[in-house]
Structure 1
Amino acid sequence: MVRQKWAQALLCVFISILGLGINGGPVFAQTEEVNHGLIEAHSMSISADAAILMDATNGETLYNKNAHKQRPPASTTKILTAILGLELGRPDELVVVSEKAAAVGESTIHLDPGEKILLYELITGAMVKSGNDACVAIGEQIAGTEKDFVRLMNQKAFLIGAKNTHFVNTNGLPNKNHYSTAYDLALMARYGLQIPAFTSITRLKETEIHFIEPDFFMNLRNTNKLLWNYPYTDGVKTGTTTAAGKCLVAAATKDGRQLIAVVLNAPNRFGDAQKLLEWGFSNTETITIAQAGDVVDVSREGSEPLMAFVQQPLQVSVLKKDEEKLEKKIQWTRDSHLPIDGGEEIGVYEVWLNEKKLGSTPLYAECRAEIFDGWDLKGRLTNLIEGK
């Protein structure tokens, strides 16, 4: 039974490569980091050794201070443990606590061997109360052993785009080979926040979990003080060890826009995170250049119509003062010979700021085109976007 469950879990992780999703979980294109932040790191007073502010919509970096520096992540590790627990398990799975899980120390929910509890309650205990023992129990339930579950965690992290991360346990207890970065943790949070159950848990200030056997309830209080002090907060997770210092992965939504702040080794972690989030909401914005399915008319009077469509949305994050400076361009990437088949990639829609490309998305011919009377297709596309 354990071997079968392990095989199913491994398959589910790799399915995400194909963009098929897992148990209704999110699938979105990963955005490469296209900037090092919109302002210089030293222009904002942040106590953290490493920090990042990310736009949750498109994954772009708004602020960067040593965001790719590998550091101990402490209990922010549990973000990925919770993601896999929700994706690979059933909320109503009954978990029998093992002696190994019950023996885990430091921050715990005081599990005892043989206790029975639902998987969803364990995930809640891991994220709200930061239960190290709950994380081990989750891993054993999903993959049979914590070691095998950690293999899944590392595979999942890589698929999400967290390529400077390596975990050796489920909870973030200190180990020299257990590390991540502010950028990678922001990617994990961004992924998790697309899972409704994940967001529901991370927003909890206080809650209780129910043990099936013996039958009792345990009250939990979230360690994330931003939930009380900052009204836009969506969670996500605190973390503290001597090696890692005080850490926080925080998300907030204001006026329909969600931002993610990560601060590692931050003496003033809650103040740092709130400062980053407020700066982002006040000084930056997400601009939608094109929506998926938008159509560009590149036809010419007297010739066969040629329409190009955008397959993926193009969104960029900029300082509000720079919005009017954005330039939109279309670059022809196909030879100009005819015919052009429907669905064929013909060009790239780009957005630029101060001679720097911020992002792009491919353009595809909407239908087959045969005759253009010697028309210079490349020139026509360029002129179109410039309004000529």
Structure 2
Amino acid sequence: MRKIVTFIIIFTITLGIFSEIAFAQNSVNNISADGVILMDYTTGEIIYSKNIDTPYPPASTTKTMTALLTLEKCKLDDEVVVGKKPPFVDGSKIYLYEGEKLTVKDLLYALLLQSANDAAEALAEHISGSTDEFVKLMNSRAKELGALNTNFVNPHGLYDENHRTTARDLALILRELSKHPEYKEIATTNMYYIKPTNKSDKERPIWNKNRLVQKNSKNYYEGCEGGKTGYTVQSKHSYVAVASKNGQKLIAVLLHDSKYTYWTDVKVLFDYGFNNFTLNHLYLKGDLVGNYSVKSGVEIPLLAAEDFYYIKEKKSTSIPKVDIENKDLSKTSFQRGDNILNGNVMLDGKKIGVIKLASGEKYSAMNFIPTLSKNSDGKQSSIGKTFLYIFSFAAFSVVLLRIRKLRLRKNFKNRH
């Protein structure tokens, strides 16, 4: 009887766990946006995807790239003088005046909190001299980040049939933007005031449109570190956001959604990621990953050249393995710490990443003998010691043979 009861309890718990996971999966699959991605910030691994490489008009989520370039190219206290064009841009704005002087910080708050198109154009002209030149910079930076299906034609996101990006590309841009601590500080501020300027004698209040960071909102999401909304009639609704929980950070993107449901949809995405997946570290920099055998028989220790993290389902018990590339290095000289090989990290038969492998020894291709290096604890390595003994013995033998030969020659001369 007890065995039956125990079995029923275990079965019920197991069924509950898998039902919860299935429910979460179904909830994510019900998201109506055409392009959807949930990406792990640390590893770049994709947890959930839907049409992630299909280009869509991104509306004001474009401003994540404008903000990124601003933080990369400017200081927050830099002065910006507004040109002729920004005051006449369409859409959302804070009503800048030609010749008005503001700081980069003021314009960034207007850009990210109130989605001001005139602030976007003012920053673009300040950085590149014109919006056309700034757009070139936007597209160039996108390619550097791996956003290969993106083509920007303006710095704010007003609809243009050639203005396109993808869920994957936007996630890569937001991931890079989130590396700047200033972004989180700005993006999580509920309200900001732009002080009177040389053209305006009144303060301008700037409200944050991102409800996920507003604690008094029903859409508040604890751990949200920023986000950007977007909408035009042709572009439909779009939204990007980043959130952290228990040391794990996730990036969510929703593109081209006919429904105004991104507040709840993005929370479903974040909950799905945090509840079902964990961030794990496989190796820390300097950890021994394996050994490489040179053709001469020398064993070279291979060390992790960087920290390596990976995402795994919480229910999974699998452990990643590293497949070290097969490459002949016997004729290559390298220093201790040089990156010499790569390892493909495999989990359940799937490649989840590549780890760079550094040599734990100096190695000279001239004589196929590793030079004498020390371990991390300052002691001579065992490999170095072994070859020191071999080399010393060989050198001593050569000297003895040379002496013997000289003596034989001398004796021969004395006899004759």
Fold shared, TM-score > 0.5 on shorter chain: yes
User: CA-to-partner distance for each residue in 1:288-322, whole Å, 9 max, x for gaps?
Assistant: 1112222346499xx97632211133222121122
Alignment length (residue pairs): 331
1:85-124 equivalences under 5 Å are: 85-124=70-109
Q: CA deviation at 1:363?
A: 1.9
Maintained 8 Å contact 1:342/1:364: no
**What is the distance in 1 between the residues matched to 2:340 and 2:126?**
49
* Cα separation, partners in 2 of 1:175 and 1:332, compared to 1, 3 Å: closer
1:51 matches 2:36: yes
Report deviation, 1:60: 1.1
Distance 1:326 1:123, change over 3 A: same
Q: Show the counterpart of 1:225.
A: 211
Give the gaps of 5 or more residues in structure 1: 1-38, 373-388
- AA of the residue aligned to 2:250: L
Letter in 2 for 1:320: K
1:242 aligns with 2:233: yes
Amino acid at match of 1:232: G
Map 1:268-307 onto structure 2 (within 5 A): 268-296=261-289, 298=291, 306-307=300-301
- Distance in 1, matches of 2:361 and 2:34, equals 53
Aligned to 2:248: 257
In structure 2, the partner of 1:177 is 162
- How far apart are 1:92 and its partner, in Å? 1.7
Please list the CA deviations of residues 321-351 of structure 1 after superposition, one character each: whole Å capped at 9, or x if unmatched: 22x2233134252227588743465544333
Q: 1:216 aligns with which of 202, 215, 222?
A: 202
**Inter-partner Cα distance in structure 1 for 2:224 and 2:292:** 48
Which residue of 151, 168, 171 corresponds with 2:136? 151
Letter in 2 for 1:178: H
Q: 1:345 & 1:113 partners in 2: Cα distance?
A: 53
1:132-151 to structure 2, matched below 5 A, reads 132-151=117-136
**Which deviations, in whole Å up to 9, do the C-alpha atoms of 1:20-42 show, x marking residues without a partner?**
xxxxxxxxxxxxxxxxxxx9899
Indicate whether 1:363 and 2:357 are aligned. Answer: yes
Deviates more, 1:88-97 or 1:179-188: 88-97
**Deviation for aligned residue 1:243:** 1.2
Identity %: 34
* Alpha carbons 1:334, 1:346 under 8 Å: kept: no
| Cα-to-partner distance string for 1:356-386 (whole Å, 9 max, x where unaligned) | 22222132321135569xxxxxxxxxxxxxx
Checking the alignment, whether the CA contact within 8 Å between 2:120 and 2:156 is kept in structure 1 is yes
Structure number with bigger Rg: 2
1:186 and 2:186 are equivalent in the alignment: no
Name the CA distance, whole Å, in 1 between partners of 2:173 and 2:322. 32
**What is the rounded CA distance, in whole Å, between the counterparts of 1:168 and 1:311 in structure 2?**
39
8 Å Cα contact 1:116/1:211 also seen in 2: no
CA contact (8 A) 1:68 1:164 kept: yes
Opposite residue 312 of structure 1, the aligned amino acid is E
Aligned partners of 2:25 and 2:272 also within 8 Å: no
Amino acid at match of 1:277: F
| Greater shift in the superposed pair: 148-157 or 87-96 | 87-96
Change in Cα spacing, 1:339 to 1:170, as seen in structure 2 (3 Å) is closer
Measure, in 1, the Cα distance between the counterparts of 2:142 and 2:71.
15
Q: Confirm or deny: 8 A CA contact 1:118 1:212 kept in the other structure.
A: no
Match among 50, 55, 66 for residue 65 of structure 1 = 50
- Kept in 2: contact 1:166–1:178 (CA 8 A): yes
> 2-side partners of 1:348 and 1:142: how far apart?
39
Is 1:334 matched with 2:334? no
Cα 1:336/1:177, change in 2 over 3 Å: closer
**Does the Cα contact within 8 Å between 2:325 and 2:344 map onto a contact in 1?**
no
Letter matched to residue 251 of structure 2: I
Change (3 A) 1:103 1:292: same
Measured in 1, the distance between the counterparts of 2:355 and 2:167 equals 27
Correspondence 1:314-329 to 2 at 5 A: 314-322=308-316, 324-329=317-322
1:125 pairs with 87, 90, 110, which one?
A: 110
Verify the 8 A CA contact 2:33 2:256 in the aligned structure 1. Answer: yes
Which whole-Å CA distance do the structure 2 matches of 1:98 and 1:264 have between them? 32
Tell me the TM-score normalized by structure 1.
Answer: 0.79
Give the secondary structure class of the aligned counterpart of 1:259.
strand
Q: Distance in 2 between matches of 1:167 and 1:298?
A: 47
Read off the aligned partner of 2:361 and give its amino acid letter: C
**Secondary structure at the residue paired with 2:303?**
strand
Q: 1:349 aligns to what?
A: 343
Q: What is the DSSP-based 3-state SS (H/G/I as helix, E as strand, rest coil) of the residue aligned with 2:241?
A: strand
User: In structure 1, the residue corresponding to 2:143 is in which secondary structure?
Assistant: helix
Rate the CA distance shift 1:177–1:295 in 2: closer, same or farther, 3 A.
same
Q: Distance in 1 between matches of 2:54 and 2:332?
A: 50
After TM superposition, the structure 1 stretch with the greater mean CA deviation from structure 2, 104-113 or 177-186, is: 104-113
* Structure 1 residue ranges (4+ consecutive) displaced by more than 3 angstroms after TM superposition: 39-43, 296-300, 303-306, 336-350, 368-372
Q: Taking structure 2 as the reference length, what is the TM-score of the superposition?
A: 0.74
Residue segments in structure 2 that go unaligned for 5+ positions in a row: 1-23, 215-219, 371-416
Task: Report which stretch shifted further, 122-131 or 197-206.
Answer: 197-206
How far, CA to CA, are the matches of 1:339 and 1:155 in structure 2?
36
Give per-residue Cα distances to partners, 1:76-116, cap 9 Å, x unaligned.
00011111112112222222222210011211111122222
Contact 1:315 1:359 in 2 (8 A): no
| Distance in 1 (alpha carbons) for counterparts of 2:80 and 2:331 | 63
Aligned-residue RMSD, C-alpha: 2.4
Deviating more after overlay: 246-255 vs 202-211 = 202-211
CA deviation digits over 1:119-170, x for unaligned, max 9?
2111110110000011000011111111111111111111111111111111
